[in-house]
Amino acid sequence: MWAKDGAEALAFLDRHQAAKTPPDPRPELILLDIHLPKVDGHEVLRRVKGDERLKTIPVIMLTTSERAEDMAASYDSGANSYIAKPVSSQDFLAHIKAVKEYWLLTNTAPAA
């Protein structure tokens, strides 16, 4: 599932949690950019980690920001990882592959 902005991401998660039979599976991992329109990534992260039903979903901040303040704020709000997006598309794809292999294939997460 892909959301174009933070408001859409939160709406999806709210709908998913409210449905007795969700139309989509529960996310196993959230990749979140800090610089989202409408609701920024920091706020989305705070809401996800503040929700008892969602807080166990790993959240990776995947952003162009390399600012120490953004990284610190992300970890303070409960991010599980912080990755600065590389400029080259080839490096970006390699990062995404590594993220997938670790978080979805290697890591053991608690049951939902």
Position 48, amino acid:
V
Six token digits for residue 46:
């705070």
Are the beta carbons of 59 and 79 closer than 8 angstroms?
Answer: yes
- pLDDT per residue over 79-105, tens digit each? 999 998 877 788 888 888 888 888 878
The pTM (predicted TM-score) of the whole model is 0.82
Compute the distance between CA of residue 77 and CA of residue 72 in angstroms, rounded to an integer.
9
Delineate the domains of the chain, giving CATH numbers in brackets: 6-106 (3.40.50.2300)
- pLDDT per residue over 32-85, tens digit each? 999 999 999 999 999 999 999 899 999 999 988 899 999 999 999 999 999 988
Compute the distance between CA of residue 62 and CA of residue 60 in angstroms, rounded to an integer.
6
pLDDT value of residue 23: 67
